[in-house]
A and B are shown apart, each in its own frame.
Chain A
Amino acid sequence: MSRVTLLSVCMSAALLVYILEMVRRRRLREEYSILWLCGSMVILVLSVKQDWLIRLSRIVGIAYPPSLLFLVGILFIMLILIHFSIAISKLHQMNKRMAQELALLKEEVKEGDPK
């Protein structure tokens, strides 16, 4: 195993373990961990099975196989960022509803007798 292979195996394995540990301690919700786990597993597999990487890059027509690794990494980062934008939008919507309900409820409480 070359040094660079060893490095990328170690890094993706460390990422995988770290994500699992965060989920186990409930610091990261399962739904948000799925993408991270998939991403780190794909990188791990492609670092170990280099002939897969080479074959795959030949199929898609990439001359320099490691750049496929970059491509996969960048795609994964984009995916996770979109996922975050969606999650933030959902939170924004929920937060707005909550603030509105709170303002309405405060007024009812102040009135004593609602409606």
Chain B
Amino acid sequence: MDRPPHRVLIAIPAFQEEQTIGQIVSALRRRFPYDVLVVNDGSTDATSAAARSAGATVLDLPCNLGIGGAAQTAFLFARDRGYEALVRIDGDGQHEIEDIPRVLEPILAGKADAAIGSRFLGEAGYRGSIPRIFGIRFFRSLVNLFTGYRVTDPTSGFFAINRRLIEFYSRHYPSDYPEVDAYILMHRLGAGTAEVPVRMYARVEGKSSITTFGAIYYMVKVTLSFLINAIRRFG
């Protein structure tokens, strides 16, 4: 079998995504020579079977750990199997898979430790509700203030990381709402980041995990854990 020049893992944390996961996995398998890993975060529907029959390696978590806990399982898998790079995308079809080479390029070229897809760069044209835009602005300033990274899309879950970050995240990664937190973790590690323009779509199936009360909790929790991570000791 032909080995691609780089060992790349495409990782998809999935919770109750039976409607979309199969399609995404088969599209990824057709389009890219990379391994596809689905981390089934304790779904009670057919997510696991759909992903497996579409040709993904599937890790079934025995209970729901939250998106960060599931993503970390993928980092552990990539670390143990010696992958050089990992691309993380959503299992609900929000992320345009044709943009994977864009997030991967800075990693494979050795230009950054992490490349994060941004829906606000370029002519991607993303529109969100007012509270969501407000939240994104808030986190932008927070990230910029504490890390110096210039980011446009701090809550993006579409990114690629290299071996160094795979190993670091295997040890330190928040259980829930990890995206903003990840910036302070990267800053503490001294990682180089790059943002690249990607396309993101409104959800096709299912509901966003964030409700009104949830949004307030999200802001408070993320800000708190961000600030704590700024002063935490990493062993």
Contacts and interface: CB of A to CB of B under 8 A. Distances in A.
Interface of A: 92, 96, 99-100, 102-104, 106-107, 115
A104 B57 CA distance: 11
Interface stretch (B74-82, B135-143, B199-207, B209-217): B74-82
B65 A96 contact: yes
Contacts of B61: 99-100, 102-103
B175 A96 contact: yes
Nearest to A100: B73
Given A96-B65, A107-B59, A115-B81, 5 more contacts: A96-B175, A99-B61, A104-B73, A104-B77, A115-B80
Interface residues on B, range: 10 to 19
9 contacts: A96-B69, A99-B61, A99-B65, A100-B65, A100-B76, A103-B73, A104-B59, A104-B80, A107-B58
B39 interface: yes
Given A104-B73, A107-B57, A99 B62 contact: yes
A49 to B, nearest CB: 43
Contacts of B63: 99
A115 B82 CA distance: 10
A29 B167 CA distance: 36
Contacts of B72: 100
